[in-house]
Structure 1
Amino acid sequence: MPDSTPIAEPTGVAVPWTPPALTEAQIAEIQALAAKADQLAEASLSANTRVAYGKAWRGWSEWCLGYGLDPTGLDQAAAADAHWLVLHLTALAETRSLSTILLRRAAVVSIRRRLKRPLHLDDAEFQAFLKGLRRRKGTRPTRKAALLEENLRAATLVLRPDGTGSRSAGAGEGALGDLRTLRDRSLLLTGFAGGFRRSELVAFDLRDATLSAEGLVLFVAGSKADQERRGEEVGIRAAPGSLICAVTALRAWLEARGDEPGALFCRLDRGGHRVRGSDGRLQPMDPATVARLVKRVIGRTGAEIETFSAHSLRAGMMTAADRKGISLEDAMRHGRWKSVSSARIYRRHSSLWQGNFTEALLRDE
């Protein structure tokens, strides 16, 4: 349990001094570097990681400039060194999580290395800092709830393909309301059945989907676990007659969507019309829209929306597989997990009851 133990102060840190003032030209150059920081991250990192690194670097830059320091280390007379990074992270610790602190450290260290001005961190010093931070904040991760079959069945009742299930549908809007409803229902069921990340769902192109007698095959061109973009096929079997059959839902969506080239789950404007780019192709949804969609639909079923996110679809697939006795190996292969330890995290509450003997322990004989 977190306690009030103070975070360990970095040893040997001098009292903040007043460095030589930076010129306006130097400040402008530093700020320009900060604005382009996400481009300095390694190309092998995912797009989301590059964005996170860019944000972390800009925060570090603004903090350093507030003390008259050069965050890049290019100006040796006013360079921010490793001790200043620890002080920056200490300041962040008041309001940020442990995972954010670690990401900020990784971002600054990585970008300074690419600028050929590495920070020479004392690992022992930093580990002492982390130990104090863990004692202060605790290390229990915050995870969103898994979205399960019962949630999806409830969602199908509020996503009826007659216009009444769409928030935007109204008088005279039946066809447009149907379009949004069919897309949203198909996206949710496909995301659950395939254990897809939201970035993968919005990246699917029409040509990535192939329907057959057995079901649906989706080609994942690249993902968090496939940074080299080798690509991988994921199969989803049809479950005729089931309210949550992803294949049935996708067939209905494709019939309404049409065969125009572009995103499989295309973006719709406020009026429910398909959005096309300058090249005429249907445009993809924003990943944040998937998260809002999950919360909106789940909220309409009466569930607590704050416990769910877009990642609840992926967590739900793994949890549901565990409840139905699917082996961890088969579930990992389907969901494209590479690490057993990471996959086990997703075997949420169902694993608590497998082999649980407490009922026998407490039952009256």
Structure 2
Amino acid sequence: MSSSHSIYCNNVSKVQLIALKSDFEKYIHAALASSTRSSYQSDLAHFISWGGHIPSTPEIISQYLAVHADLLAPATLSRRVVSINRAHTSQNLLSPTKSDLVKATLRGIKRIVSTKQRQVEPVLKNNLLDMVAGLEGVKGYRDRALLLIGFAGAFRRSELVGLQYSDIEFVEHGLVVHLGKSKTDQQGEGRKIAIPYARGSVCPVLALKDWLKLIEISEGAVFRPVTRHGRIETSALSTQAVAIIVKERAKAIGLDASKFSGHSLRAGLVTSAAQAGVSSWKIRQQTGHKSDAMLNRYIRDAKLFIDNAVSAIL
């Protein structure tokens, strides 16, 4: 962080920051719908608590993005930039978010994160079955449901931990998840994800029912932290926790945990479905991708040994 930024933060009192935030809320309240307004207020509160201020500079915003690049999803950071921009424009201030520095920083973060996601190992069906085998206790019930639902729904970490009880609907053939705005649904139209009862002994729908029966909830977050004493908390599980659970279970079955992440569940569904001969449009129906472009890498790798040229001659 630059010295000028540090000096600014040291000279601005907490009372002034609260008053500054109040000004933002006043302008935003007049201009936006309540749901959008709430998101902007939350974003600005996070920026200010870190040490940001309005008016801001391209350097400060870029520093903020860089600090949180490994902590927040690119989509979340993009939304924060939009909120910071709105805080400026609502007061007729020149927005630093339009600068080349901020745009380049955000592009770089997206590219790096995308590369990391493409490099992680997918949790394939056989891996998944081994991972959930033998899980016991409160945490075991949660991890079993989380891994199976995360795989079957091809969910991103943020989507998985963001699931609310009101988002799920058990139907005759299994489970329907009503997913709101996501990375591939920026208009917030939402979509339905169907997870049918499994034919085998390991079933995502039944695993989720077992978990919900255990925690006895009728509202709030579906996946929650569990203390070492087995106490279930009321808050939602963090996205980092999803990655930790995947890594822990990968290590438990003898895999290299460093090659797996929360994205491995989503990548695993795509890869496993492609290996099973599922069409790309049916896979996209589950993942929410708008085109085959983002699926091609997984599908290409999944089919390396299908109709392989060497197999035909040796």
TM-score range, shorter chain: 0.5 to 0.7
Matched, 1:141 2:91: no
Q: Which residue of 2 aligns with 1:293?
A: 245
RMSD, aligned α-carbons? 5.0
Q: Is the 8 A contact 1:44 1:228 kept in 2?
A: no
Unaligned ranges ≥5, structure 1 = 1-17, 62-70, 74-79, 164-176, 277-282
Q: Is the 8 A contact 2:224 2:236 kept in 1?
A: yes
- Partners of 1:224 and 1:194 lie apart in 2 by 15
Counterpart CA distance in 1 for 2:23 and 2:264 is 31
Corresponding residue for 1:261? 218
Does the Cα contact within 8 Å between 1:206 and 1:261 map onto a contact in 2? yes
**Alpha carbons 2:44, 2:80 under 8 Å: kept:** no
Is 1:302 the counterpart of 2:276 in the alignment? Answer: no
Mapping 1:312-323, distance limit 5 Å:
312-323=264-275
- Shifted more, 183-192 versus 216-225: the winner is 216-225
Look up the match of 1:64.
Answer: none
**Cα deviation, residue 38, structure 1:** 10
Q: Point out the structure with max Rg over C-alpha.
A: 1
- Give 3-state SS (helix, strand or coil) of 1:219's partner: strand
Percent identical among aligned pairs is 26
Q: Quote how far apart the aligned CAs of 1:197 are.
A: 2.1
Instruction: Give the structure-1-normalised TM-score.
Output: 0.58
User: Are the aligned partners of 1:195 and 1:318 in contact in 2 as well (CA < 8 Å)?
Assistant: yes
Corresponding residue to 1:236 among 178, 195, 210? 195
Identify the residue that residue 229 of structure 2 maps to in structure 1: 271
Q: Distance in 2 between matches of 1:23 and 1:273?
A: 39
1:182 aligned residue (119, 141, 144)? 141
Counterpart Cα distance in 2 of 1:273 and 1:196: 26
Partner of 1:247: 205
1:317 Cα deviation (Å)?
1.2
Q: 2:169 — aligned with what?
A: 210
Secondary structure, aligned partner of 2:242: helix
Q: How many residues align?
A: 291
One-letter amino acid of the counterpart of residue 211, structure 1: F
**Residues 24 and 191 of structure 1: CA distance in aligned 2, closer, same or farther (over 3 Å):** closer
1:119-130 → structure 2 map (5 Å cutoff): 126=100
Q: How far does residue 152 in structure 1 lie from its aligned partner after superposition?
A: 0.7
More helix by share: 2
The match for 1:167 is: none
Return the letter of the residue paired with 2:244. R
**Against the structure 1 CA distance between its residues 222 and 27, is the aligned structure 2 distance closer, same or farther, given a 3 Å change threshold?**
same
1:154 maps to a residue whose letter is D
Q: How does 1:27-176 map to 2 (within 5 A)?
A: 61=52, 72-73=54-55, 85=58, 112-113=88-89, 116-118=92-94, 126=100, 141-143=115-117, 144-159=120-135, 163=136
Q: Is residue 210–residue 217 contact of structure 1 (8 Å, CA) maintained in 2?
A: yes
**Matches of 2:38 and 2:296 in 1, distance apart?**
23
Q: Deviations over 1:202-240 (max 9, x none)?
A: 333334433344222222244333455444322112223
Q: Residues 51, 321 of structure 1: CA spacing in aligned structure 2 closer, same or farther, 3 A cutoff? A: farther
